[in-house]
Chain A
C-alpha cells in the first residue's frame, strides 16, 4: 500500500502553517501567557474564527452538519502544525474529540439536522461554539472517570476537574461513571458560574473545573454505548495528542539546533561539538520514529481497524517520549538562558510537558500496548 500523504493533505497542512505563522506568533503567545494572569484570553476569539474560516474547526464534522467530512489523516497534519505554532486554543479537544463524539451520538440517536446535538455540531463546525470534553482519563487499567462525586441519583451537582478549554467552551461532553449504572455521557452547556479556572504549568493553557448537574435531558449516551464511545474517544485523544506533540517536538529541536549554530564557545558555534550534536540527533531520531506510528494510528482509526487502540497507544507512548527527550535536550543545549521566561523555548516546553502527560503518559500507553499484544496472543 502507498503510505504517504496525498498532495491535498499536504496542501491543507501547508495552509494551516501559513495561517498560524501570522495568526499565532510568539508575541501572541507571550501576550496570552501574561494576559492569563490578568484574566484575558489574548486573541483567542479572533484566532478561532480564522481557524473556522479555514475549515479546521469542522474538519471531522459530517458535511450534512456544515463540516468538511474529512478524516483523521487530515486532522493529524493540522494538529502537527498547531503544535509547531504553539496554538493555545483547544482545537484538539473541540475539532478532534468533541466534534466526532457529538456526531456519533447524533447519528446513533437518529437526530438529523434539527436535533439539539445536530444544531450544536453545526455551531461547532462554523466556529461559533468551542466544544470540549472532560470527566475521563486514560490509565493502564482502563478508562476512569475524573468526575466526583459519582452521585447516587442523577440529580445533584458533580465536579469535573481539569477540563481543557473550560473557560472558552460553549459546550462540554462530560463523562461520569455511576456505581451500578455504569458510564454516562452528558452534554453540558456553558455556565460561567460553574467554571473555576485551574492554574496550569503551561500559562497559555485554559484549564478549569466544571460544576454541573446531570439531568435526563443532558444525557446523550449511557451503559455499553457510552463506554464504546468513550473508548473511541480515548483512541482519538491518544492519536491527536501524539500529532500535536510531534509538532511541538519538531519546534523544540529546531529552536535548539538554531541556537547551537548561533551560540559560540571556545571560538566556535556550540553545534560543532559532538557532545551537543549527538544530543540533538538523539531527539531527532526519537521524533522520526514516533512520526510513522502516529500516521499509522491515524490510518487505523480512520479505517476502524481492530488494532486501532494498540496503534493509538503506541503513537502516544512514542510521541510523549520524543517530546520529553526533546524538551530536556533543548533545555540543556540552551544552557542557563533556557530556564528563563525570556527564552521562547519555555512556551513550547511547558506545552510539551502537559500534553505528554495528558490522556495517559508514555508508561500508561506502553502498558496498554502490552495488554493489547497479550490479548491478541491469547486469541491465537
Chain B
C-alpha cells in the first residue's frame, strides 16, 4: 500500500549567523535567507525511510514562511521528498504557535496523509507545542518524542522517549508523530537530488487559498504578545575560600548553611 506522509518543516534563520529581534514586536527577524531547521532533517529522513518515494509513496513537506522562502524546502526536496506546500502571506507576520498550527492543519488536510511527522520543537522558537496543536485541529491522535517509528499496515508503533526509558505506543493511522533528534541519521542531499529538486513542485498558498480569515492568524489573531525582552541576568561569581588551615571547617559551615549537612 502506498503511503502518503506529510512532514512539517520549518525554515529558520541560520543558527550560525547572529540572530536579531525586531525592536518593536520583539519577534525574531526572519526577513533574510532561511535554511532548513536541522531538527526537521530527522523527520524528513524518517519519512523517506518509512515511505520510500521510489516505491510509489509520497512525502509532502508543509511549511509556513515569509516572502515565499523556499531555500530550506529545496534542501528537503533534494534529500528526496516528493513535493512541498508553502504558505506565505503578509497577514501571517507575528503568528503565535496556535495560529501557525491552524494554517499548517488547513494545508495538511488537503493532502489527506496517512502519517504526519514533525520535530519535537524548532531550533529558533522552542515552544514545542505546535505538533500537538496541529493534531488536535485535525482531530488526529498524536504521539510525541519518538525515538523509533515503524508502520505496520494501518497502525504505527512508536518507542516514546521518557525520562526513565521509553514507552511502546501503538496508534491507528492517521496520526501525528514528533521525532527526536537522532531517531535516524539524515542523509546528505546528493548532487542528483539537488538537481532534481529544481523541478519538484512547490505549491505556494495564501491564507485565502486555505479559506482562513486574516483576523484569526498573524499578529491580529495571536493570543500572546511579547511585551518586553531583557538580557538574562549574569550570575554573580561564587565565594573563593583560601585555605588558611580552617578550609574544612568553612566548607562544613557552608554546607550547614544550605542545609546539606
Contact = CB atoms under 8 A, between A and B. Distances in A.
B195 A54 contact: no
Contacts of A110: none
A68 interface: yes
Interface in B162-192: 187-192
B61 to A, nearest CB: 17
B192 A68 contact: yes
B250 interface: no
A55 B188 contact: no
A50 to B, nearest CB: 7
A55 B196 CA distance: 13
A18 interface: yes
B190 A54 contact: yes
Interface-centre pick from B191, B194, B195, B198 (highest chain A CB count, 10 A): B191
A253 to B, nearest CB: 20
A15 B188 contact: yes
A53 B188 CA distance: 9
Contacts of B198: 8
A172 interface: no
B188 A70 contact: no
A53 B191 CA distance: 9
Interface in A247-299: none
Contacts of A70: 191
A175 interface: no
A19 B188 contact: yes
Interface residues of A, number: 14
A55 B187 CA distance: 13
Interface in B186-242: 187-192, 194-195, 198
Interface residues of B, number: 11
Contacts of B189: 15
A15 B194 contact: yes
A43 to B, nearest CB: 16
Contact of B194 (A11, A50, A59): A11
Contacts of A11: 74, 78, 194
B194 A53 contact: no
A176 interface: no
Interface-centre pick from A15, A56, A68 (highest chain B CB count, 10 A): A15
B192 A50 contact: no
A70 B192 CA distance: 11
B191 A50 contact: no
Nearest to B188: A19
A159 interface: no
Nearest to B191: A55
A48 to B, nearest CB: 14
Interface string A46-70: 0000100111100100000000101
A12 B198 CA distance: 12
B188 A18 contact: yes
A136 to B, nearest CB: 29
Contacts of B78: 11, 15
A53 B189 CA distance: 9
Interface in A211-261: none
A11 B192 CA distance: 11
Interface string A1-32: 00000001001100100110000000000000
A53 B190 CA distance: 7
A12 B191 contact: yes
Interface in A42-99: 50, 53-56, 59, 68, 70
Nearest to A19: B188
A70 B190 CA distance: 14
Interface in B85-142: none
B191 A59 contact: yes
Contacts of B188: 15, 18-19, 50, 53-54
Interface string B18-45: 0000000000000000000000000000
Interface string A122-143: 0000000000000000000000
Interface-centre pick from B74, B78, B187, B192 (highest chain A CB count, 10 A): B192
A42 B187 CA distance: 22
Contacts of A55: 190-192
Nearest to B195: A8
Contacts of B74: 11
A12 B197 CA distance: 12
A68 B189 CA distance: 15
A12 B78 CA distance: 11
Contacts of A50: 188
21 contacts: A8-B194, A8-B195, A11-B78, A12-B191, A12-B194, A15-B78, A15-B188, A15-B189, A15-B191, A15-B194, A18-B188, A50-B188, A53-B187, A54-B190, A55-B190, A55-B191, A56-B191, A68-B191, A68-B192, A68-B195, A70-B191
Which are the 6 A-B pairs with shortest beta-carbon distances?
A55-B191, A19-B188, A11-B194, A55-B190, A54-B190, A12-B191
Given A11-B194, A50-B188, 10 more contacts: A8-B194, A11-B74, A15-B78, A15-B188, A15-B190, A15-B191, A54-B190, A55-B191, A56-B191, A68-B195
